[in-house]
Structure 1
C-alpha cells in the first residue's frame, strides 16, 4: 500500500452561476521517500489539488467525490480533530509566500515552539532546542540569534529556510511544497531547492512539489503529473516525460523553455490561454489550442471535439490524448500485419 493514495478526486466551487469543477478525476500515489512533481500553467488546478489533500479547501469550495488516503486513513471524510493530528505533524505544507505564512508579531522561536507544543507534550526548553537544531539543518547562519528575531528582520531566502525548518519540526512523512521559490531570485531558488531535496533524502520524506518550472521538476522529482484545466493529462517518470513527452500540451510546455528557442528568435509559446473552468470546451479541453487536432490527411479528429480522452499507456507513461491513442493503435496494427 502506498503512503498516499489519491483516487478520482473531484473538487468543486459552488458559485451563484453554478458549480465550477476545479479538479476532475485526479488520481495518483506517493510512496515513502518519493518525490512527485505537479506542473502546469496558472489555473491548471495544481494548488487546489495540493490544498485538497489536507482538506484545506475553503468555502464555497468542497470535495465532491473521490478519496485521499494516508496510511489507509481517508482524510477527506476525517473529522477536524483527526485532521489536526495529521496536518503539520505527519503531512507538512510549504506555501508560496513566507511572509504570509509567518506571523509578523511573533518571533521565529515563539512560532516554532508553539508549533511543537500544539502536537507534542514538551517543555518550552526542549521545544526551543529542537527548533534550534532544525534551523541548523536548513543552514541558517547564527541560528540562536534568528530564534529571537521577527520575520521582517530576515531576507526572503532566510524566511523560506525557516518555513522549511518549521515543515520539518515534527519529522513529517510528506511535505507538500506549493511553488516554494516563487518570490526568490534565481540563485536563491537553486539553493532552496537543493536544500529541500537534500533534507528529503536524508529523512526519507515524501515530497509533492507544485510548480510551473519544468527545469526544477526535472532536477528534483522522480515522477510527475502534468495538469490542464483541472485534470491530469500526462503522468509518469519525470525523465521519460521530459525526454519524450506524449501529450501535445506537455510538448508545448517543454518547447516554451527559453533554452529550446533559437538565439535571437522569439520564444516558442502555446497559442491561446487556459480555458475558464466555468466554460470548458467539449471533448478534450486542450483541443482549441492543439496543433495536432488535424490528422495527417488534414481532417479534424472528431473525437478531440466530442470525447474526453482516457489515458493511453505509452512506455512507462500515461497520456490522455486521442492522437496518442491513434498512434498506439496504428503501431499495434503494423505489428500484427508483420
Structure 2
C-alpha cells in the first residue's frame, strides 16, 4: 500500500464570475521513504497541491473532486479534529519563509514544547528534552541556549533548521517541503537539502519537494512531476525526465538552466508566460507557447499516456521523438 495515493484531485476557487480551476485531475502515488519532486513555473499549481494534501486550503479555495488517501484513509472530508491529529503529527509541511511559520513573540522552546504537548502527554521537562534532541539532529549548535531565544535573534539558515526540527518533533511519515530554501544563501541551501535527504534516508520518511529548481530536484528526488497550469504534463523517474524530457515544456525548463548556455551568451527562455486561471486555453494549456502546436493541440486537452519511460500529456510526442527513436533502433 502506498503511503500517499492521490486520484483526480481537482481544486477550484469560487470567484464572483464563477469558479476557476487551480488543479485539474491531479493523480500520483508516493511510497514510504520515497522522494518526489514537483516542479514548474510560478502559477503551475505546485503549492496548491501541497496545501491541498495538508487540507490547508483557505476560502475561496476548495477541493471540488478527487481523493487523497493517506495510508489507506481518505482525508479529503475528514472532520477537523481528526485531520488535526494527522496534520503535524503524521504529515508535516515546511513552508517557504520560516518567519511566517515561527511565532515572533514566543521563544523557540515555547513553540517546540507547545507543539509536543498538543499531540503527546508529556511534562514540560520531557518535552524540552525531546526538543533539544531534535535540535541536535538538525545540527543546531548549543541547543539548550537556542530554546531561550526568539526567532529574530537567529539567522535565516538557523531559523529554517529550527522549522525542520519542529516538523520532526512528532516523527512524521510524510514531509511536504514547499520551496524550503528560497530565501537562503546558496551554501545554506545545500546544507538544508543535505539535511532533508539524510533525514529521509535514515528514517524512511516520504518527501514531497515543491520547487522550481530542476538542479535541486535532480539531486534530491527519485521521481518527478512536472506541472503546468494546474495539470501534470510529465511524470516519471527523475533521471529519465532530466536526461530525456518528452514534453516540450519540460525540455524548455531544462534548456533554460544556466549550465545549458555558454558563458557570455543570453540565457534561453520559454516564450510567453503561464496562462491565468481565468484564461486557460481550451486545448493543451501549453499550446500558446509551444513551437510544435497543431490544430488538435488548440482544440483538445491531451490525455496523459505512457511514452518512452515516462508518462506525458502531449498530442505530438510521437512525432517529436520519432527521428531520435528511429536513429536509436538503427
Distance 1:9 1:100 in 2: 27
Deviation at 1:245, TM superposition (A): 0.2
In structure 1, the gaps of 5 or more residues are 294-300
Unaligned runs of 5+ in 2: none
CA displacement, residues 289-320 of structure 1 (integer Å, 9 cap, x when unaligned): 00122xxxxxxx21110110011212331010
Q: What are the Cα deviations for residues 54-96 of structure 1, in whole angstroms up to 9, with x where unaligned?
A: 2110000000000101011111110001101100000010000
Matched, 1:257 2:257: yes
Corresponding residue to 1:320 among 313, 320, 326: 313
Matches within 5 A, 1:30-45: 30-45=30-45
Q: Which residue of 2 aligns with 1:281?
A: 281
Deviations 1:163-212 (A, max 9, x none): 00011100100000000000101111011100111111111100000000
Kept after mapping to 2: 8 A contact 1:138/1:164? yes
Q: Residues of 2 paired with 1:89 and 1:325: CA distance?
A: 45
* Cα distance in structure 1, aligned partners of 2:174 and 2:220: 15
Kindly indicate whether residue 176 of structure 2 is the aligned counterpart of residue 183 of structure 1. no
CA drift of 1:328 comes to: 7.5
Specify the alignment match of 1:296 in structure 2.
Answer: none
User: 2:24 — aligned with what?
Assistant: 24
Report the TM-score, using the length of structure 1 for normalisation: 0.94
* Alignment match, 1:297: none
Q: Tell me how large the CA RMSD over aligned residues is.
A: 1.5
In the other structure, the counterpart of 1:311 is: 304
Write the mapping of 1:71-150 to structure 2, written as runs, cut at 5 A.
71-150=71-150
Q: Distance in 1 between matches of 2:309 and 2:40?
A: 20
Q: Secondary structure at the match of 1:285?
A: coil
**5 Å matches for 1:188-337?**
188-293=188-293, 301-326=294-319
SS for the counterpart of 1:50 is helix
Separation (CA, whole Å) in 1 of partners of 2:321 and 2:243:
18
For 2:245 and 2:319, the matched residues in 1 are separated by 16
Shift in Å at residue 330 of structure 1? Answer: 9.4
Mapped to 1, the partners of 2:259 and 2:142 lie a distance apart of 39
Cα distance in 1 for partners of 2:191, 2:291 equals 37
